[in-house]
Chain A
Amino acid sequence: KNEVEQSPQNLTAQEGEFITINCSYSVGISALHWLQQHPGGGIVSLFMLSSGKKKHGRLIATINIQEKHSSLHITASHPRDSAVYICAVGRETSGSRLTFGEGTQLTVNP
Chain B
Amino acid sequence: EPEVTQTPSHQVTQMGQEVILRCVPISNHLYFYWYRQILGQKVEFLVSFYNNEISEKSEIFDDQFSVERPDGSNFTLKIRSTKLEDSAMYFCASSQRTSGSYGFFGPGTRLTVL
Q: Using a CB–CB distance below 8 Å, which chain A residues touch chain B?
A: 30-31, 33, 35, 40-45, 48, 50, 86, 88, 90-91, 94-103
B-chain residues with CB within 8 Å of residue A95 when the two chains form the complex: 48, 55-56, 98-99
Give chain B nearest CB distance to A40 CB in angstroms. Answer: 8
A-chain residues with CB within 8 Å of residue B98 when the two chains form the complex: 30, 90, 95-96
Q: Is the CB of A45 within 8 A of B43?
A: no
Give chain A nearest CB distance to B109 CB in angstroms. Answer: 10
Q: Is the CB of A97 within 8 A of B45?
A: yes
Q: Using a CB–CB distance below 8 Å, which chain B residues touch chain A?
A: 31, 33, 35, 37, 42-45, 48, 50, 55-56, 58, 89, 91, 98-105, 107-108, 110
Q: Give the docked Cα–Cα distance between A40 and B12 (Å).
A: 18
Chain A contact residues: helix, strand, loop or mixed: strand
Q: Is the CB of B48 within 8 A of A90?
A: no
Given A42-B108, A97-B56, verify A103-B42 contact (CB < 8 Å).
yes
Given A41-B107, A41-B110, A96-B33, verify A102-B99 contact (CB < 8 Å).
no
Q: Which 4 A-B pairs have the closest CB atoms?
A: A90-B99, A96-B48, A43-B105, A95-B98
